Amino acid sequence: MTGARRLHHTYAEYLEVEALSSVRHEYLEGEIYAMAGGTPEHGILASRIAALLGGQLPARCRVASSDVKIAVLATGLATYPDLSVSCGPLARDPRDALAVTNPVLLVEVTSNSTEDYDRGDKLSHYRQIEGLQAVLLVSHRGKRITAVTRDGTHWVTRDYRGGERVVLASPAIELAVDDVYAVLDGL
- 3-state SS of 38-73 is CCHHHHHHHHHHHHHHHCCCCCCEEEECCCCEEEEC
How far, in Å, are 5, 21, 34, 82 from residue 8 at the CA level?
A: 10, 19, 15, 27
d(CA 85, CA 8): 31
Question: CA end-to-end span of the chain, whole Å?
Answer: 50
pLDDT at 1: 41
d(CA 49, CA 136): 10
In single-letter form, the type of residue at position 47 comes to S
Arithmetic mean of pLDDT over the chain = 93
* pTM, entire model: 0.93
Cα torsion for 71, 157, 180, 81, to the nearest 10°? 10
Domain boundaries, the chain: 38-184
Q: Are 69 and 80 in contact (CB under 8 A)?
A: yes
What CATH number was assigned to the domain covering residues 38-184?
3.90.1570.10
pLDDT at 66: 95
Reported as half-sphere exposure (CB side, CA atoms, 13 A), residue 176 has a value of 5
pLDDT in tens, 54-74: 999 999 999 999 999 999 999
pLDDT at 6: 55
Reported as half-sphere exposure (CB side, CA atoms, 13 A), residue 54 has a value of 10
pLDDT in tens, 10-45: 999 999 999 999 889 999 989 998 887 788 999 999
